[in-house]
Amino acid sequence: MPLVNTKEMFEKAYKGGYAIGAFNCNNMEIVQAITEAAKECNSPVILQVSAGARKYAKPVYLKKMVEAAVEDTGLPIVLHLDHGADFEMCKDCIDGGFTSVMIDASSKPFEENIAITRKVVEYAHAHKPYVTVEAELGTLAGIEDDVKVEHGSESYTKPEDVEEFVRRTGCDSLAIAIGTSHGAYKFKPEQCTRDENGVLCPPPLRFDILEEVSKRLPGFPIVLHGSSSVNQEYVKIINENGGDLKDAVGVPEKQLRQAAKLAVCKINIDSDLRLAMTAGIREHFNAHPEHFDPRQYVGDGRKYVKELVKHKITEVLGSVDKA
Ligand SMILES: [Zn+2]
């Protein structure tokens, strides 16, 4: 099976009340961890690449590694550009064999966002085979590679904008802002309460906005960015093995599970993979200070990422046996 676009995947996910995991990748071990986990769960999966990943690993390596994963697993896999900054970057990926792209013009005024998105959609849909396009309305706080928005400067998606935006752009899916945020520090401590163990509890997602958007766009796939949960077990392993991550906090998995049952068909997860990889490597080094073979410690990182992805597929996304 060749790489696929998101069209059929999202149609099934919408009807089935689950979401597809969109995991960021930038090296071989992460690609293997994600796709081996997906294989064991018989789950479809989206591997996404940011501008930062393209700079780090070179597009050609990423493309070939993802193709290798398709050959190795036989799963339906999408190769997706995360946060395409402009038409040129999207065009470059479409020409290079990506099966899906995101054009993120969400920081631009409404009309400009529509014009840029429309241009990408026209190019992507004319491509054979058809490349799907994700667009964004509203802005998330936080930091992800080249995308940086200060806390306090984020803005929720306005439901009254979505029908016109989707109609005029022709986009295939829409990322909305309902209170998720990029990075491992999604909320400032003062936005949160603390539980009895002193762990931060973030403000709840704005399900009212999600419901209003899905009422206005029946059957249309919605995307959530910045949806790592910053599982405290990994933060604890990192901090117990020489790390220093203070007050790292994410979106509770229960809320993401709820969103996946509604119109959300794609949930983006990046920081959680980074934390799992770092936890595995730090723990390995602490236990084996004499080791210097990268296969030993990166291999432990890969094992942790794979366990995490299996957990996400079964407990959060609900995409088990949907391949
Ligand atoms: Zn994002």
Angle between helices 232-240 and 271-287 (to 10 degrees): 30
Tens digit of pLDDT for each residue in 159-202? 999 999 999 999 999 999 999 999 998 888 888 998 888 778 89
Nearest CA-CA partner of 163 in 182, 179, 176: 176
Tens digit of pLDDT for each residue in 272-292? 999 999 999 999 999 999 999
Q: Measured in whole angstroms, how far is the alpha carbon of residue 126 from the centre of its chain?
A: 26
Q: What pLDDT score does 3 carry? A: 96
Q: How far does the centroid of ligand 1 lie from the alpha carbon of residue 323, in Å?
A: 24
Q: How far does the centroid of ligand 1 lie from the alpha carbon of residue 280, in Å?
A: 25
- What pTM was computed for the model? 0.96
- How far is 86 from 303, CA to CA, in rounded Å? 36
Name the region of 321 (left: φ>0; alpha: ψ -120 to 50; beta: rest): left
Tens digit of pLDDT for each residue in 21-39? 999 999 999 999 999 999 9
Tens digit of pLDDT for each residue in 65-98? 999 999 999 999 999 999 999 999 999 999 999 9
List the catalytic residue out of 82, 145, 172, 300. Answer: 82
The share of the chain scoring above pLDDT 90, in percent, equals: 87
Q: How far does the centroid of ligand 1 lie from the alpha carbon of residue 20, in Å?
A: 15
Q: How far does the centroid of ligand 1 lie from the alpha carbon of residue 83, in Å?
A: 6
Q: Is 145 an annotated catalytic residue?
A: no
Q: What pLDDT score does 195 carry? A: 85
Q: What pLDDT score does 151 carry? A: 75
- How far is 217 from 214, CA to CA, in rounded Å? 5
Residue with tokens 């770092």: 278
Residue type, 296: Q
pLDDT band at 154 (very low <50, low <70, confident <90, very high): confident
